Copies of this chain bind each other. A is one copy, B any other.
Amino acid sequence: MIQKKFENAAKAVADIQDGATLLVGGFGGSGLPSYLVAALVEQGAKDLTVVSNNIGAVSDGVAALISNNQVRKIICSFPVGPHADDLIERLKKGTIELEIAPQGTLAERIRAGGAGVPAFYTPTGAHTELGEGKETRLFDGQMHLLEHAIKGDYAFIKAHRADRWGNLVYRKTQRNFNPVMATAAKTTIAEVNEIVEVGEIDPETIVTSSVFVHRLVQAEAQHEGKVLVNE
């Protein structure tokens, strides 16, 4: 019988090794899997490549992993905010690498990773600093960049409700990067508010299908609702 639920976040993240690539959902504090991130700070895996849209909006997001010196490289679109100081300091020391990607390119690269598309062309970023060094090609006379898929060893995502098979529904703009990241990792771990029996979620409303979710963790009460707007 399919059973994806782990007892707690610590057990769900226990096997993450140094050097792993990790996708972290959320947009600021909304849809951020903060219980899983906290467990990984505790677990201590190092030299991580982290892919996440924001890094500094809230202290219990990716910023916590950076401050704890667990991140070797960060790929994001918006590396600013109240908790970006530790990132700036490490960039100056050269102990962390930063790759800035336009938000849509970031989302599409992750989608491509989940969809078996190794690379695609996009007009976004052409003729800009972020396109420098990238392969270019004209389509209909307009310059496009070749962008490559992003895949994770692990994805940390946040959803509202799961069933035992791992089907997920989200609340409102909590979706953001979560559904797309769920598709692009070898092991997708979902932090959810509620786990229900199979059949209790209307099949027409399922956003992330069970095939994409490998582990489920019930969010702990103290982590729910803790995150404030840019703190």
**Using a CB–CB distance below 8 Å, which chain A residues touch chain B?**
108, 112, 115-123, 139-140, 144, 169-172, 202, 204-205
- Whether the Cβ atoms of A116 and B120 lie closer than 8 Å is no
Q: Give the number of copies in the complex.
A: 2
**A139 and B119: CB pair below 8 A?**
yes
Q: How far is the CA of A139 from the CA of B204 in the complex (A)?
A: 36
Could you say which residues of chain B place their CB within 8 Å of the CB of A108?
115, 117
- Taking a contact as CB atoms closer than 8 A, the residue among B112, B115, B123, B205 that contacts A204 in the complex is B205
CB neighbours (8 Å) of A169 from chain B are: 204
Q: List 22 A-B contacts (CB under 8 A).
A: A108-B117, A112-B120, A116-B122, A116-B123, A117-B120, A117-B121, A117-B122, A118-B121, A118-B123, A118-B139, A118-B140, A118-B144, A119-B120, A119-B121, A119-B139, A120-B120, A120-B121, A170-B204, A172-B204, A202-B205, A204-B205, A205-B205
Question: Least Cβ distance of A139 to chain B in Å?
Answer: 4
By a CB distance below 8 angstroms, the chain B residues around A123 are 116, 118
Q: Chain B's nearest CB lies how many Å from the CB of A16? A: 23
